[in-house]
Amino acid sequence: MDDRIRIYAEKMEKSYKNMLEEFGTIRAGRANPKVLSKITVDYYGAPTPLQQVANVTVPEARVLQIQPWEAAMIKKIEKAINMSDLGINPTNDGKVIRLVFPELTEERRKDLAKDVRKKGEAAKVAVRNIRRDANDFLKKLSKQDVSEDEIKDLENEVQKETDKWIKEIDKGIEEKTKEIMTV
């Protein structure tokens, strides 16, 4: 791959990886610690990721257990979870917080699948925008001392990268949708 377009290919890959991270925060009926990745807790005045103030485990298929390293953090962690868009009420016994994930209804599964498709579509748009930026860059190169044939070859390379990442995004959407719709 030409170094002039490698940057754009890396940006496309980042868009794909970002989409996968977002998919990780969508819960599919099973407990997954990734759903807590965007939750921050007020730790001595500084917003700190939940995983840095507590140990998160999955003792059962639909239960997340959060054990803070400091007992004083329980209330703050509970508050952060309630303020998030997680939609699950935490319960605590004074030492650990438990999040019990309810079984998903068919309607909720369909809503989550729609959300997955939206996030996937946003990733595709990002990849196409990167392709547009790359092609704009190549048009500027044509004004310099680069042959038309070389520009065409580079444009074809950009298109191949775009097609590759769009296909990967589609595969990711399909896998996550299948995971969500599986009872």
Is the pLDDT at 168 greater than 80? The verdict is yes
Please report the pLDDT score of residue 99 as a whole number: 87
Give per-residue pLDDT as tens, 86-115: 778 888 888 888 988 877 788 888 888 899
Q: Kindly state the helix (H) or strand (E) to which residue 99 belongs, with its residue range.
A: strand 97-100
Please report the pLDDT score of residue 29 as a whole number: 66
Whether this prediction's pTM lies above 0.85 is answered by no
Is the pLDDT at 173 greater than 90? The verdict is yes
* Beta pairing, strands 46-49 & 91-92: unpaired
Please report the pLDDT score of residue 167 as a whole number: 95
Q: How far apart (Å, rounded) are the C-alpha atoms in residues 159 and 128?
A: 9
In the chain the domains, ranked by start, together with CATH numbers, are 3-24+105-181 (1.10.132.20), 33-100 (3.30.1360.40)
Q: How far apart (Å, rounded) are the C-alpha atoms in residues 132 and 32?
A: 36
Query: Quick count: other Cβ atoms within 10 Å of Cβ 101?
Result: 20
Please report the pLDDT score of residue 92 as a whole number: 87
